[in-house]
Amino acid sequence: NRMKLLQRCITKIQEQTRSADDILIINNSSTDGTQKFLSTNNFNHINQKNSGSAGGWFTAINYAISNNFDLIWLMDDDGYPDINSLNLLSNHFNKKYSCVSSIVVDTDSKSELVFPMPVLNNKSLPKIISFKRKIYNSNDLNKYCNDKKEYFFCHLFNGALISLKHIKKIGNINTKYFMYGDEVDYYFRLRSVGKVVSLVNSYHYHPNVQNRSLSNIKLYYYIKNSIILNYKYFDYSFIRSSLNIIIGIFRYVSRNGMKSLLVLLTPKNLRNIIVSIYRGFKLKIDADYEK
């Protein structure tokens, strides 16, 4: 239900210096007039039930495979690419890469990273104990890049250009992650079959997400799926999982206000947190939130 933002995103794609061969919109059951807008303007689109972000990516990737595309450029509707992004990403691509992504910067500041980049250890994993763990702006990120302007990490799927050849090796998105974690899981799967980098001179603009409220269902999936991902792909998994639990609760309270802490401590919501932790350590990936 973000038709105005979707319209902006489509316009910015149409204005690219390197034209996209096709534009496909996945409509996850919008009720704000999006369906009418897409039909009236003859935009190529697929309507489906709301199956979370993972379900949207899954449908898009299936379309690209069945229509024999070489590359798919994935993005949410609330962000938009810089005018030269597709040109830079596609020119950078070669057979060694499974994914080349833009960096995601704030629509207002233009240099602040919406999703901070982790400082990587010698295993190319985010450092857990370090004087500096996060990189918060594009100027700072440049200091960590190679001479090709690459940083060996990316946040999917805001402006990520992905090879269908490599997708066929690893399969489609795991839709069981539902509301959180599908992008992290896919990042590591893509990394297992090719190079995955962010191109620091290619920009994808995105609203600041720090002030967005955090719902109970999003907190549930953040905690559960973070624990699962830690045990699948990261070192020091128990320490990372413990930190994720604390970070999730802190974000919930800081974004929703101190009164939300009292709501969070009601028996029903407290039970959901305990269940999310339990299912996380049991590695239960599924859309299993209980209202």
Taking only the tens place, the pLDDT of each residue in 64-81 is 999 999 999 999 999 999
| Mean pLDDT, residues 23-49 | 93
Instruction: Give the percent of the chain with pLDDT over 70.
Output: 100
| Structure confidence at residue 291 (pLDDT) | 65
Dihedral of alpha carbons 37, 2, 190, 152, sign = positive
Nearest CA to 159 out of 20, 258, 263 is that of 20
**Cβ 156 vs Cβ 101: under 8 Å:** yes
| Mean pLDDT, residues 228-246 | 96
pLDDT for 195 beyond 70? yes
| Mean pLDDT, residues 122-132 | 88
Q: Which residues touch 97 (CB under 8 Å, ≥6 apart)?
A: 163, 194, 195, 196, 197
pLDDT for 39 beyond 80? yes
| Mean pLDDT, residues 176-199 | 94
Mean pLDDT of the chain: 93
**Cβ 85 vs Cβ 204: under 8 Å:** yes
Nearest CA to 32 out of 6, 58, 54 is that of 6
pTM: 0.91
